[in-house]
Structure 1
């Protein structure tokens, strides 16, 4: 993969055809335990009394795997900041990066930015960018809750991404 700074790489990018890729994976949102990956970083003065947790903001660095078992093949990390941003129903405003650290997409990222109404069974989020193999990515990320432990608030989320992008130059 040529770096953007290399001579002619941007000209070559303009000549490439778009590629469509479908990805499927799970990420592990652990709010408790030894592998904790979710931390509260801010809250508003009304969060404690809000039925929707309005103003509660998290920072996450979640394990991404091929299967729902955390011991399945690692793909990378889901990193970002979801925050409750709806006064009337539980919904996150999410900025999330899927960072691929293993496999054929190693070194590439996909960025998602949008509203995630977490009580809905299936949610759709916009893909707004990417790097490496996923340069200039756009598309949709479909997510659903695969598993929820209400006692610990640990969650396994299932994601399917439909990505249109330019391959590496």
Structure 2
């Protein structure tokens, strides 16, 4: 409650109720001296407490109290280019993908099914279909006996037809040469001895490889077959570059 005195009387302001009352000087005097003159005012009933609504506040707002029905709006200005900001900037990261590479090469596989150098064995034998082989064929850079070994073709094949003979292959070409050492090409296909396989994936330097391999038999002498592999694939080397940026500068990192 605030009390303001003037010549004409006293103004009493209740900020919590946003109401004001004006009491004249005579009223004040009579209230102050009511007990001495013997004349009193009849007792008044107490009014219930007033809980002013927003509408009431808007209509009866004294100058010492202002009603604001809406909360203040807080805005933040972000300027990543200049660095002027009222909030800390989170670090952003960008990845620059490596360029896709193309692989074309001609290799040879050497299949040996008997003797001390055997690299393919039959594990299930059936009269017409179902015969299954497991092998780890040598892969070389030439068809002759002096060619360099660059890896192994490892996997299985199952005969799925006999007129003509058709096989389903599940293979992995594992490189052991200096360039692709430890990398692989994952191969799948259904074909005769001469046919085409699909490259369905790769690992290491040859990650995410896609392409084809065309297999052609060159010769079959005794227990040994030599076949040519024409490889054509696209792959994405796993050496992407990551760029990190914040309001202080950039940082480049090669994965």
Q: TM-score range by the shorter chain?
A: 0.7 to 0.9
2:119 to 21, 28, 37: 37
With normalisation by structure 2, the TM-score equals 0.54
Deviation at 1:88, TM superposition (A): 3.0
2:236 alignment partner in structure 1: 166
Deviation at 1:70, TM superposition (A): 3.6
Task: Assess if the C-alpha contact under 8 Å between 1:143 and 1:160 holds in 2.
Answer: yes
1:97 to 172, 191, 208: 172
2:181 alignment partner in structure 1: 106
**Distance between the aligned counterparts of 1:155 and 1:84, measured in 2?**
18
2:61 alignment partner in structure 1: none
Task: Assess if the C-alpha contact under 8 Å between 1:28 and 1:70 holds in 2.
Answer: no
Q: Once the two structures are superposed, what CA deviation does each residue of 1:128-162 show, in whole Å capped at 9, x if it has no partner?
A: 0111111001101011001112x42x211110110
2:102 alignment partner in structure 1: 20
With normalisation by structure 1, the TM-score equals 0.81
1:5 alignment partner in structure 2: none
**Distance between the aligned counterparts of 1:27 and 1:142, measured in 2?**
12
**Distance between the aligned counterparts of 1:104 and 1:156, measured in 2?**
24
Task: Assess if the C-alpha contact under 8 Å between 2:98 and 2:238 holds in 1.
Answer: no
**Distance between the aligned counterparts of 2:121 and 2:111, measured in 1?**
10
1:6 alignment partner in structure 2: none
Aligned residues: 146
Deviation at 1:168, TM superposition (A): 3.1
1:62 paired with 2:132, answer no
Q: Provide the aligned C-alpha RMSD in A.
A: 1.6
Q: Once the two structures are superposed, what CA deviation does each residue of 1:103-126 show, in whole Å capped at 9, x if it has no partner?
A: 2011100011011222xxx52111
Task: Assess if the C-alpha contact under 8 Å between 2:122 and 2:132 holds in 1.
Answer: yes
1:126 alignment partner in structure 2: 198
| Unmatched runs of 5 consecutive residues or more in structure 1 | 1-10
In our comparison, the structure showing a higher alpha carbon Rg is 2
Could you say which structure has the greater relative contact order, defined with CA pairs below 8 angstroms and 6 or more residues apart?
A: 1
**Distance between the aligned counterparts of 2:155 and 2:145, measured in 1?**
19
**Distance between the aligned counterparts of 1:33 and 1:88, measured in 2?**
29
Structure 1 moving runs of 4+ over 4 Å: none
**Distance between the aligned counterparts of 1:114 and 1:123, measured in 2?**
9
Task: Assess if the C-alpha contact under 8 Å between 2:139 and 2:153 holds in 1.
Answer: yes
**Distance between the aligned counterparts of 2:149 and 2:172, measured in 1?**
16
Task: Assess if the C-alpha contact under 8 Å between 1:38 and 1:58 holds in 2.
Answer: yes
**Distance between the aligned counterparts of 1:62 and 1:99, measured in 2?**
10
Q: Which has the higher strand share?
A: 1
Task: Assess if the C-alpha contact under 8 Å between 2:207 and 2:235 holds in 1.
Answer: yes
